[in-house]
């Protein structure tokens, strides 16, 4: 009996320590082309943790590894909303396609927390409409501070009342209290910056009472910087004048230094900041300033080195590197990663089968709005021009193999190349290794004849850089349009086809924070 009891205890312990969140639900009036994504709201990156499809009736289901208990963002149909999740939860979400996720109903483990969250959001919306912030911002400092103390007290009273009614977790209640403090801090920062010009007193300086109130609100700095991105933004706004002076004084003769490098140097002078705060702030600047598709190759390597040397938190370091791969692609010159792929006939396929000849990896899914008429005509031109000197591998990341077969037969019929499927679609091994996410589909990367990455990750076949790389890999020379003739350069191989082919779209990652 003791043996079985021990096994039971171990089983319960393992289940309670699970990091997975199981989610399912139904969105009435939805489109099967829409997807649901979950993103960690307090992280440094904006990469979806999961991308879930809906069936024809609006049902969906999936699970994902939750980095921590905390706030997450639901993305759907270009709209967003917050949801509080804890690891190991099973939740059910329902809503209407016209209003989801702005409005949703939750049952299951997360109900109490999110009923509380929804109630506080509703109170803040109602309360905010009744407070005359313009009058407070334009008044004298003592009146403004008195008003801010009242706003803080009113909100906290409502939060406490709603907590008694909904019984949220300790973690969510603490987050909400800090969220209130950050809201007030941002109002204080706005007042301090704008009061001088607005009042006609350019020499205005905040009093000791003002600074003491700021310090009181920042009593839990470490928790706020970890969980509330708006607090990081607040700190950066406060630092900006000092950083600008530092940059001007230390940038002489440094023509190629990136914003992130300069900010990293500046942070070393800030002895009052914890290493945690420095990690989050530097990560925020990197994500905004230097991790993007147009970043020069040399800058990408600089940023990766900076992540390795200056970011100390392992999770932040990992998230930034994933974000860099998702936005700019794998390192040029490294071996193209192998991953599990299968052809329509069920046979396994290896990318190494292309060794000896350069090839293009083209990732797509049927539900992506930029596939079809917007991309396929240009893809056909590219394939037809370069097919004698390079191979093309079309990687489908739909939810099921059946959908892959239907999609590839429909979209790519007659297009020379190999059609393969990544098992589990967006959760497939190949999608993870190549940093493929819904926001960047369709996307592609070139690999040289030795099986090494030969380009960054692209989302637009019409970029002039694409043609340059293809020419270099194949020895061919595609005619190009005059770059001054139009805003968006594109391949000009078959003028008659080009006149009717729509311009390929160039989606960019959405900011969630």
What secondary structure does DSSP assign to 311-373, as a single string?
---HHHHHHHHHHHHHHH-SPTTSBPPP--EEETTS-EE-GGGGTTS-EEEEEE-TT-TTSGG
Confidence (pLDDT) at 480: 64
DSSP letter assigned to residue 189: H
Q: How far is CA 76 from the centre of its chain?
A: 14
Displacement of CA 451 from its chain's centroid (Å): 29
Query: What is the pairing mode between strands 35-40 and 50-53?
Result: antiparallel
Q: What is the pLDDT of residue 185?
A: 97
* C-alpha to C-alpha distance for 60 and 77, rounded to whole angstroms: 15
Residue 481 has pLDDT above 60, yes or no: no
Helices (H), 228-313: 229-250, 259-267, 275-289, 297-310
**Tokens, residue 442:** 């369709």
Q: pLDDT, tens digit, for every residue of 310-319? A: 999 999 999 9
Please say whether the beta carbons of 297 and 332 come within 8 A. yes
Q: CA geometry: angle at 297 spanning 288 and 381, to 5°?
A: 100
| pLDDT tens digits, 98-137 | 999 999 999 999 999 999 999 999 999 999 999 998 888 8
Assess whether pLDDT exceeds 50 at residue 321. yes
Burial class for 314, CB neighbours closer than 10 Å (0-12, 13-18, 19+): exposed
Q: Which of 419, 212, 253, 433 shows the shortest CA–CA distance to 339? A: 433
Mind listing the pLDDT tens digit for each residue in 2-53?
444 444 444 443 444 568 999 999 999 998 889 999 999 999 878 999 999 9
Mean pLDDT of 430-448: 95
Average pLDDT over all residues of the chain: 88
N-terminal to C-terminal alpha carbon distance within the chain: 52
Residue 219 burial (C-beta neighbours within 10 Å; 0-12, 13-18, 19+):
exposed
DSSP state string for 140-170: -HHHHHHHHHHHHHHHHHHHHHHHHHH---H
pLDDT attached to residue 251 = 86
Ordered by where they begin, the domains of the chain are 18-109 (2.60.40.1120), 341-500 (3.40.30.10)
184, 152 in Cβ contact below 8 A? yes
**What was the pLDDT predicted at 198?**
81
Q: Quick one: pLDDT at residue 513?
A: 35
- pLDDT-derived band of residue 252, with 50, 70 and 90 as boundaries? confident
CB 447 within 8 A of CB 333: no
Report how far residue 150's alpha carbon sits from residue 71's, in angstroms, rounded to the nearest whole number. Answer: 27
Work out the burial of residue 341: count CB atoms within 10 Å of its CB; fewer than 13 is exposed, 13-18 middle, 19 or more buried: buried
- Rounded to an integer, what distance in angstroms lies between the CA atom of residue 361 and that of residue 339? 12
pLDDT in tens, 45-75: 789 999 999 999 999 999 999 999 999 999 9
Residue 394's contacts (CB-CB under 8 Å, 6 or more residues apart) are: 362, 364, 408, 412, 415, 417, 418, 419, 420
Give the pLDDT confidence of 139-148 residue by residue, as tens digits. 899 999 999 9
Where do runs of H (alpha helix) occur along 387-461?
Answer: 401-411, 429-433
Does residue 418 register a pLDDT over 50? yes
* Of 244, 243, 220, 242, the residue nearest 231 (C-alpha): 220
Share above pLDDT 90 across residues of the chain, in percent, rounded to a whole number: 75
- 77: nearest Cα among 40, 57, 103: 103
Mean pLDDT, rounded, for 150-175 = 97
What mean pLDDT comes out for the span 155-162?
A: 97
Question: What global pTM score does this model have?
Answer: 0.86
| Dihedral over alpha carbons 187, 192, 194, 195 (to 10 degrees) | 110
Residue 237 phi/psi, 5° resolution?
-60, -40
* Tokens found for residue 296: 């020069």
Q: Tokens representing 273?
A: 């900041």
Measuring CA to CA, which residue among 187, 284, 175 is closest to residue 511? 284
Confidence of residue 92 (pLDDT cuts 50, 70, 90): very high
Q: How confident is the model at residue 299 (pLDDT cuts 50, 70, 90)?
A: confident
Q: What is the percentage of the chain residues whose pLDDT exceeds 70?
A: 89
pLDDT of residue 507: 35
Distances (CA, A) of 115 to 80, 119, 163, 195, 508: 17, 6, 10, 38, 33
- Say which range, 11-15, 63-67, 270-274, 408-412, has the weakest mean pLDDT: 11-15
122: nearest Cα among 141, 108, 102: 102
Please name which of 319, 443, 328 lies closest in space to residue 48, comparing C-alpha atoms.
319
Question: Higher-confidence residue: 479 or 339?
Answer: 339
Structure tokens at 356: 């000896």
């Amino acid at each position: 009996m003791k043996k079985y009891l021990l096994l039971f205890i171990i089983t319960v312990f393992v289940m309670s320590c699970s990091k997975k969140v199981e989610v399912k639900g139904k969105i009435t009036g939805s489109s099967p082309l829409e997807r649901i994504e979950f993103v960690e709201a307090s992280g440094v990156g904006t990469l979806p943790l999961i991308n879930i499809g809906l069936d024809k009736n609006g049902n969906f289901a999936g699970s994902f590894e939750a980095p921590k208990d905390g706030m997450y963002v639901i993305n759907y149909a270009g709209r967003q909303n917050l949801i509080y999740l804890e690891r190991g939860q099973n939740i059910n979400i329902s809503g209407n396609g016209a209003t989801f996720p702005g409005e949703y109903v939750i049952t299951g483990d997360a109900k109490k927390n999110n009923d509380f969250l929804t109630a506080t959001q509703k109170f803040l919306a109602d309360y905010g409409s009744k407070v005359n912030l313009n009058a407070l911002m334009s008044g004298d400092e003592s009146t403004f501070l008195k008003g801010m103390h009242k706003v803080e007290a009113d909100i906290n009273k409502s939060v406490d009342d709603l907590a008694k009614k909904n019984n949220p977790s300790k973690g969510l209640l603490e987050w909400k209290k800090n969220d209130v403090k950050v809201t007030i801090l941002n109002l204080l920062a706005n007042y301090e910056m704008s009061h001088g010009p607005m009042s006609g007193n350019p020499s205005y300086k905040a009093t000791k009472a003002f600074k003491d109130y700021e310090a009181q609100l920042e009593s839990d700095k470490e928790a706020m910087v970890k969980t509330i991105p708006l607090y990081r933004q607040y700190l950066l706004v406060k630092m900006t004048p000092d950083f600008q002076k530092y940059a001007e004084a230390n940038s002489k003769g440094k023509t190629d230094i990136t914003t992130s490098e300069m900010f990293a140097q500046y942070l070393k002078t800030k002895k009052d900041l914890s290493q945690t705060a420095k990690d989050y702030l530097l990560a925020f600047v990197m994500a905004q300033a230097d991790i993007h598709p147009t970043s020069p190759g040399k800058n990408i390597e600089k940023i990766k080195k900076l992540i390795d040397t200056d970011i100390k938190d392992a999770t932040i370091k990992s998230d930034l590197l994933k974000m860099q791969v998702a936005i700019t692609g794998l390192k040029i010159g490294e071996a193209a990663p192998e991953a599990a792929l299968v052809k329509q006939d069920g046979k396994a396929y290896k990318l190494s089968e292309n060794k000896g000849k350069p090839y293009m990896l083209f990732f797509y899914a049927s539900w992506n709005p930029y596939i079809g008429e917007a991309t396929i005509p240009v893809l056909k031109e590219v394939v037809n021009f370069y097919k004698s000197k390079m191979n093309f591998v079309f990687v489908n990341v739909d939810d099921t193999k059946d959908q892959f077969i239907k999609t590839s037969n429909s979209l790519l019929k007659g297009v020379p190349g190999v059609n393969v499927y990544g098992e589990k679609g967006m959760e497939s091994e190949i999608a993870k290794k190549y940093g493929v996410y819904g926001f960047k589909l369709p996307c592609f990367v070139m690999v040289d004849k030795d099986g090494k990455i030969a380009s960054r990750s692209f989302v637009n076949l019409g970029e002039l850089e694409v043609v340059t790389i293809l020419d270099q890999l194949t020895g061919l020379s595609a005619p190009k349009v005059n770059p001054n003739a139009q805003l968006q350069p594109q391949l000009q191989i078959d003028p008659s086809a080009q006149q009717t082919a729509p311009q390929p779209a160039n989606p960019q990652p959405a900011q969630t924070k």
